[in-house]
Structure 1
Amino acid sequence: MNKHVGNSWEQRDMESVFHGFTDLETLNKNGPVVLTHGEGIHVFDVHGKSYMDANSGLWNNVAGFNHPGLIEAICEQARRFPGYHAFFGRVADTTVALSEKLVKLSPFERGKVYYTNSGSEANDTVVKMLWMLHRRNGQPQRRKIITRVNAYHGVTVATASMTGKAYNAEFGLPLPGFIHADCPHYWRFAKPGESELEFSQRLARNLEELIIKEGADTIAGMFCEPVQGAGGVIPPSEGYFQAIRPILRKYGIPLIADEVITGFGRTGEMWGSVKYDVQPDAIVASKCITAGYFPMGAVILGPDLCDALTRVSEEAEEFPHGFTAGGNPLGSAVALKALDILETEGLLENVRRVSPRFLAGLNSLAEHKYAGEARGVGLMGAVELVADKKTKAPLDGKLQVSERIANKALQKGLICRPLGQAIVLGPPFIITEAQIDEMFDILRETMAEVFADVGL
């Protein structure tokens, strides 16, 4: 039913809001969903309809939508000191406390934290850090950034160039100097008869050839998500990071772990870098850092990169970069509480406890005739839809099957995300096994109906 009529909330949205990353055909046909509040893992629209949010908002509302401790942390900090910056050597006490906490939680023995408002800005910031570092070290030609096909690192001009998705061609991106290496998706890109370890070794050889071709002395750094999130939840192939890490060290190329999605428990470990033994030089964090209650991004610098960047910044008298709201005391207080909740209220433990049920449900979807692969780790997963299981041939894009599944699931009160020809799930860390069962029951029913509707 088209709800955007008269003076409804839906019509007011259509007349005043410009939506990003939204299928406009669906929006124009069905109208938007305008939400009023949330309870636990459910959100409610202006008509009182409840939806189980199986994507935690946008991966980030991991403690649910009305956690009293987080709400009180916001109110208490707002009453005491609601806003400030982190420029000119001035900073809020809560921001110092959060920095200490993040370094302690990180895989690094020591380090420092730089704050932004989002993961995009954090990745963008590291690019500038690397460019400044190499320029000050007498290597101004070291500006090229390596990422991977299907990577997602953000939406600024630099991070959109790093993002290996075709839609950025709409903006004339990537900019020169942003290079995309192989995607470590074994199911999709392995050669016949090739084992996962052999696949990882081949990708490592390809990476070294790419570095040599481009010139190692022109490369500023490589950015990797431990699990490619917006690429469709793609865990690395076995041995992937163990294969590429020595090559990057051989050529003196810093490795930056983009943990915007995988940081703070999504994989079942505090960091995806720990889960997959990434051994990064810096970590980029966002999303779960505040459990979605405040916009925040952070760059956690490991000791070597921290020391080097501090030295060149002292030479330049400053690091000439920053954001007005970076390190905001309100956000810092919320982040401190969110991290406390993660550790003391059993959220990380619950991810580990319910993950087997989640992955079993995901694998049950793979039994569908048109499901090619189910993949996931912790509480993040995807089912890839195909026209033929054996050949892995994709479905006709005109059918818009993943979009249809997401739309029909929405009608049934479940929010899931279509990504290409995959359906992606990343539920809140507080989800129960019963709710996981309900989620997959709805999805199985929805998939059956959609494939019947399109005549498959």
Structure 2
Amino acid sequence: MADTGGNSWEEKDMANVFHGFTDFPSLKENGPVVLTHGEGIHVFDVHGKRYLDANSGLWNNVAGFNHTGIVEALCAQAQRFPGYHSFFGRIADVTVELSERLISLSPFDSGKVYYTNSGSEANDTMVKMLWMINRRKGMPERRKIITRINAYHGVTVATASMTAKPYNSEFGLPLPGFLRADCPHFWRFGLEEETEDAFTARMARNLRDLIEREGPETIAGMFAEPVQGAGGVIPPSKGYFDAIRPILREYDIPLIADEVICGFGRMGTMWGSDYYGIEPDAIIASKCITAGYYPMGAVILGAKLAAELEEASEAAEEFPHGFTAAGSPLGSAVALKALDVLETEGLIDNVRSLTPHFLERLSRFGDHPHTGEVRGVGFMGAIEMVADRKTKAPFDSKLRVSERIANKALEKGLICRPLGAAVVLAPPFIITNAETDTMFDLLEETVADVFAEIG
């Protein structure tokens, strides 16, 4: 990092901030990017440099970075009633209003909403809900949680155990009782000469085998993202959820849809569950619920689980769990306005209308000699780079190809995200056709420059 006088923002960061999910060699070589503000789909650093944020912050700033209406809703609620909890049967009126709105938007005819501050906390909370329900029903052995290889469900101790990524071995996780089903990624895990339909059937058979091997009477639930987001934007194989849903019903295993990334329009539908016809028993929501303007997560329970949890809590005299700031009046007001923006200002409509162009521009990377797979649904896409297209062999990790692409893109004023061997794009819902072209033009220049360096 260049010497900028001994007291620069970058040097203050390096001296005082510890960054999560950050490539430390890149950080030490290039320094951090310290931002001051945003306008539309762009953010600006302390030097005035503008970046097109092709990842919506962290999937969530879908209305851009300076939406006047959302800011005004936050300020108005701060003046009226800025903070309160949701313990002891007390709650802000605006949070009740949001709960009614979320149930109406959900796939459920009725249900209940429980608030947290993040998707991690929401998934963690759902696990505890399932455990409590089963203990009160006289089935304390029903505790095991099924997730899938490459899943991402959070970073608490429980949700990191659900997140089936290799890096959690750094913490000695997963804990016992967290099971791994197959990743339904046909390109990566399909067998030679296996059709996609046959692959899906194999995924279903393997799930049944896992359940029977472990004992269905020991399994509390299965959590699944409609599209595996932080796994590298991995859509399920054709017919996957249609194949596994009857199996889970047969064994009375609840299916929890983790909609933290897919929910509220990312796929052009309100929920990823709508897109795939999943019919979940509960939904985990966060990120776009406030368009990234306030930390909030939610567990949205369908009628059956809501009734079972209420019965268990009555028997225990309470649900002994909660977070001080969960269900915040500020967050609730922001969420209500963000949902209005998504629905009435045409943001989800814009995702639907621009998805064909987004996916067409994305597909052009399929012609690159080092592109293994291009994949995308709605406003989420990934380009997986490989050393050999035929064998799908990845590059030597020492080359850090996706990280180099992300760093080179920053130089050009584009923020994209490296995820394993893939480069991921998830633009804000307000992006225009012309801005979409700019985003892809910059990425094409970036990829060409990086591979010119690699040789």
TM-score grouping bracket, smaller chain normalisation: over 0.9
Amino acid at match of 1:205: R
Conserved? CA contact 1:4–1:14, under 8 Å: no
2-structure distance, mates of 1:186, 1:114: 35
Partner residue in 1 for 2:354: 354
Amino acid across the alignment from 2:29: K
In 2: Cα distance, 1:183 partner to 1:167 partner: 17
Separation (CA, whole Å) in 2 of partners of 1:405 and 1:366: 16
Q: Matched residues in 2 for 1:12 and 1:29: separation?
A: 16
How far apart in 1 are the matches of 2:332 and 2:87? 15
Any conservation in 2 of the 1:123–1:154 contact (CA below 8 Å)? yes
Alpha-carbon distance between aligned partners in 2 of 1:144 and 1:186, rounded to the nearest angstrom: 26
1:53-452 aligned within 5 A: 53-452=53-452
What's the secondary structure of 1:366's corresponding residue?
Answer: helix
Shift of the 5–404 alpha-carbon distance from structure 1 to 2, 3 Å rule, reads farther
Indicate if the aligned counterparts of 1:103 and 1:113 stay in contact, CA closer than 8 A: yes
Report the RMSD for the aligned CA atoms in angstroms.
Answer: 0.7
- Cα 1:203–1:341 change in 2 (3 A) is same
Q: Could you report, residue by residue, the CA deviation over 1:383-407 in whole angstroms, capped at 9, with x for unpaired residues?
A: 0001111111111111101000000
> Aligned partners of 1:259 and 1:76: how far apart in 2?
29
Unpaired segments of 5 or more residues in structure 2?
Answer: none
Q: Go from structure 1 to structure 2 and tell me whether the alpha carbon gap of 1:3 and 1:173 turns closer, same or farther (over 3 Å shift).
A: farther
| CA-CA distance at 1:190 after TM superposition | 0.6
Are 1:372 and 1:386, in contact at CA under 8 Å, matched by a contact in 2?
Answer: yes
2:44 maps to which residue? Answer: 44
2:324 and 2:449 mapped to 1: Cα distance? 49
Paired residue total: 455
Counterpart AA for 1:104? S
Task: For residue 2 of structure 1, report the CA deviation from its aligned partner.
Answer: 2.8
Alpha-carbon displacement from aligned partner over 1:270-324 (angstroms, at most 9, x marks no partner):
0000101111000000000000000000000001111111111111111110000
For residues 436 and 5 of structure 1, the distance between their equivalents in structure 2, rounded to whole angstroms, comes to: 38
Q: C-alpha distance in 2, partners of 1:410/1:356?
A: 26
Map of 2:33 onto structure 1: 33
Taking the TM superposition and a 5 Å limit, the aligned residue runs for 1:15-30 are 15-30=15-30
Aligned-residue sequence identity (percent) comes to 73
Equivalents in 2 of 1:105, 1:328: separation in Å? 20
Structure 1: which amino acid aligns with 2:97? A
Is the partner of 1:418 in helix, strand or coil?
Answer: strand
Opposite residue 234 of structure 1, the aligned amino acid is I
SS at match of 1:318: coil
AA aligned opposite 1:276: Y
Is the 1:232–1:424 Cα contact (8 Å) retained in structure 2?
yes
In the TM superposition, residue 4 of structure 1 has moved relative to its aligned partner by 6.1
User: 1:3 touches 1:30 (CA, 8 Å); kept in 2?
Assistant: no
Aligned AA (2:35): L
Unaligned runs of 5+ residues in structure 1 are: none
Within 1, Cα distance between the matches of 2:232 and 2:207? 22
CA distance in 1, matches of 2:178, 2:366: 35
Partner amino acid for 2:68?
A: P
Letter in structure 2 aligned against 1:402:
S
CA distance in 2, matches of 1:412, 1:2: 18
Kindly indicate whether the alpha-carbon contact (under 8 Å) linking 1:409 and 1:415 is maintained by their aligned counterparts in 2. Answer: yes
CA–CA distance in structure 2, aligned partners of residues 265 and 184 of structure 1: 22
CA distance in 2, matches of 1:220, 1:212: 14
Question: How many angstroms apart in 1 are the aligned matches of 2:143 and 2:273?
Answer: 25
SS at match of 2:367: coil
Distance 2:164 2:401 in 1: 23
1:72-128 Cα shifts (integer Å, max 9, x gaps): 000000000000000000000000000000000001111110000000000000000
Deviations 1:124-160 (A, max 9, x none): 0000000000010001001110000000000000000
**What amino acid maps onto 2:418 in structure 1?**
P
Q: Relative to 1, partners in 2 of residues 1:3 and 1:87: Cα closer, same or farther, differing over 3 Å?
A: farther
Following the alignment from structure 2 to structure 1, what is the Cα–Cα distance between the partners of residues 25 and 394?
22
1:9 matched to 2:9? The reply is yes
TM superposition shift of 1:3: 5.5
Secondary structure at 1:223's aligned position in 2? strand
TM-score by length of 1: 0.99
Paired residue type of 1:16: N
Q: Distance in 1 between matches of 2:430 and 2:170?
A: 38
Task: State the distance in 1 between where 2:53 and 2:315 align.
Answer: 49
Is residue 196–residue 237 contact of structure 1 (8 Å, CA) maintained in 2? Answer: yes
Shift in alpha-carbon separation, 1:47–1:199, aligned structure 2, 3 A: same
1:186-240 CA distance string (max 9 Å, x none): 1100112222221111000000000011111111100000000000000111000
Other structure's SS at 2:87 match: coil
Q: Is the 8 Å Cα contact of residues 123 and 284 (structure 1) preserved in structure 2?
A: yes
- What letter matches 1:200 in structure 2? T
CA contact (8 A) 1:3 1:31 kept: no
Q: How far apart, CA to CA, are the structure 2 residues paired with 1:199 and 1:335? A: 40
The one-letter amino acid paired with 1:196 is: E
Instruction: State the SS of the aligned residue for 2:427.
Output: coil
Code of the residue aligned with 2:235 in structure 1: it is P
